[in-house]
Amino acid sequence: EDKVVQSPLSLVVHEGDTVTLNCSYEVTNFRSLLWYKQEKKAPTFLFMLTSSGIEKKSGRLSSILDKKELFSILNITATQTGDSAVYLCAVDRGAGKSTFGDGTTLTVKP
């Protein structure tokens, strides 16, 4: 059975801290790994990763994929209260058939 496991389940940090969120997976027909940020409502797309070892960056967020060890990490540096959200990792198994992890709830305190 396809599985995506995120850790930690929740995390509380203070503004300015750096956090690392983990995502490991066991799926058939891996196409890509995706990170989403879910605040109160709809998940919003952050990154899509298809190749091992190539870091994707967007501002203070970065992510990397290791296809040999079957995991990805999402780093957030200099966290802000606006980074508080649920971060979802998903593996696309082809044509949008994505398996999502349960998410990591990040709380950033002032």
Q: Which two tokens stand for residue 95?
A: 């044509």
Please answer whether residues 45 and 90 qualify as being in contact, where contact means their C-beta atoms are separated by less than 8 angstroms. Answer: no
Among 19, 43, 65, 76, binds another protein (CB under 8 A): 43
Question: Which of 35, 27, 19, 25 lies closest to 84 in space, CA to CA?
Answer: 19
Among 64, 87, 103, 106, binds another protein (CB under 8 A): 103
Contacts of residue 14, Cβ cutoff 8 Å, sequence gap at least 6: 79, 108, 109, 110
**Min. distance of Cβ 79 from another protein in angstroms?**
24
Site string for another protein, 48-87 (x = CB under 8 A): x-x-------------------------------------
Q: Which residues bind another protein (CB under 8 A)?
A: 31-32, 34, 36, 41-45, 48, 50, 88, 90, 92, 94-103
